[in-house]
Amino acid sequence: MGDPRFDLDAPATRADVERRVGAALGTSATVTRWTRLSGGAIQQNLALDLRTDAGPRRVVLRTDARSAVAASRSRLEEFALMSAAARAGVQVPAPICAVPCTAARPAYTVMGHVEGVAAGYRLTRPGAVADPAALLRELGANLALLHALAPLPPSLAFLGPAPTAPTRGLLDGYRDYLDHWRRRFGDAWPALEWGLRWWQERAGDRETAVLVHRDYRTGNYLVDSGRLAAVLDWEFAGWGNPLEDLGWFCAPCWRFAAPDRVAGGIGPAADFLGAYNAVAGTGYTEADTRDWQALAQLRWAIIALQQCERHMGGGETSLELALTGRLLPRLERDLLALTPA
């Protein structure tokens, strides 16, 4: 495998970044220092310290870690989604610029740097957040602002028209992936099939689709001094049932060190949902999210298999991806607990 890194030490790349960022900010910009932030298996994030006409400024450059990315949206689409969310009032890092790929380097986007902690296990330790209810209220209200975004701006035309039954579409995708796994590795996953069947009996033919984040959970937002600083990771956003985001946030798989705190391991669901309902004009309760928590378990299990497949058969040896495959028993067990016979 060739070097997948975006090389900011290459003079041409650095000059390109300085020119693009400077133009977007209306200033001259010189990179004085850069560091690699912890990134996912799919993308990488770099922190850039800039010297500008207005003084020093820190920004984040986000780019693909690999040349080929299967599941997530392109960096440019992600940037468009984040920009639309920013205009809707959702707290996100300030979008600066999006630059298409060339033969020499992948596409990249640049946004303002936001201080804060995102790590799930750190945020869900006892006492880590001074006022969990306040944080959950901010998280609920921000999600409601996203779901209220309508009509979508032309920059999101790549999403296509709203589907009439987005959840059925998700189930079809999960079923197809399980078939793919079985063809490739010979194994079946009866607990996941149970979850699919259970949901198939319940999924409606008509749903109201809104713009959902689809990865709105602890670990994907920054907390600074106990308050929400920014919602991150927009690469999975798209059309969906608003309850999908609520269930994903509350699902057992995203509670980290605090499995008994339903709302993202931070606190009770009522704090999160109450703030969401107040902005969205809905009346959702924790009970309304249970089926969707089950769907979240199913979806994360499918993603875990996809990541495992990248390690096992995709020429991308990675301990992190390999260990993700071993999450299956716990994901299954929590899925089964949420889908009683």
Partner 1 sequence: MADRPLASDLLDTARAALLDVLLPALPPSERYTARMVARAMEIAARELTATPLRMDLQRELARLAAVVDDPDARTEAHPGEARARADARSADPPPAVPLEAIARALADRLRAGDFAPAAAPPGASVERARLHRALTAWSTERLCVTDPARAAPPSAEP
In the bound complex, what is the minimum distance in angstroms from residue 80's beta carbon to partner 1? 31
Please state at what angle helix 286-313 crosses helix 190-200, rounded to 10 degrees. Answer: 140
Question: Residue 226: what residue type?
Answer: G
SS3 317: coil
Long-range contacts of 196-200 (CB under 8 A, 24+ apart): 196/171, 196/298, 198/294, 198/339, 199/167, 199/171, 199/291, 199/294, 199/295, 199/298, 199/339, 200/171
Q: Which residues neighbour 63 within 8 Å (Cβ) at sequence distance 6 or greater?
A: 6, 43, 44, 46, 75, 105, 106, 107, 108, 109
Of residues 262-321, which lie at the interface with partner 1 (CB under 8 A)? Answer: 319-320
332 near partner 1 (CB under 8 A): yes
Name which position in 26, 204, 259, 313 contacts partner 1 (CB under 8 A). Answer: 259
DSSP string, 44-92: EEEEEEEEETTEEEEEEEEEESSS---SSPPHHHHHHHHHHHHHTT---
SS3 16: helix
Nearer to partner 1, 78 or 332 (CB): 332
In the bound complex, what is the minimum distance in angstroms from residue 51's beta carbon to partner 1? 26
Name which position in 33, 180, 184, 326 contacts partner 1 (CB under 8 A). Answer: 326
Nearer to partner 1, 128 or 191 (CB): 191
138 near partner 1 (CB under 8 A): no
For partner 1 (CB under 8 A), the number of binding residues is 35
Distance CA 149, CA 112 (A): 22
Residue 3 has which token pair?
């070097």
In the bound complex, what is the minimum distance in angstroms from residue 126's beta carbon to partner 1? 17
Of residues 205-234, which lie at the interface with partner 1 (CB under 8 A)? Answer: none
Nearer to partner 1, 3 or 260 (CB): 260
Of residues 239-258, which lie at the interface with partner 1 (CB under 8 A)? Answer: 252
| Contact characters 7-46, partner 1, x per CB under 8 A | -------------------------------x--------
Q: Which residues neighbour 310 within 8 Å (Cβ) at sequence distance 6 or greater?
A: 41, 316, 318, 321
188 near partner 1 (CB under 8 A): yes
Nearer to partner 1, 80 or 304 (CB): 304
Which of these ranges, 39-47, 126-134, 139-147, 196-204, lies near partner 1 under the rule CB under 8 A? 196-204
Name which position in 55, 186, 283, 315 contacts partner 1 (CB under 8 A). Answer: 186
Nearer to partner 1, 40 or 100 (CB): 40
187 near partner 1 (CB under 8 A): yes
Question: Residue 296: what residue type?
Answer: A
Residues within the interface to partner 1 (CB under 8 A)? 38, 178, 182, 186-191, 193-194, 196-197, 201, 252, 259-260, 319-320, 322-323, 326-330, 332-334, 336-341
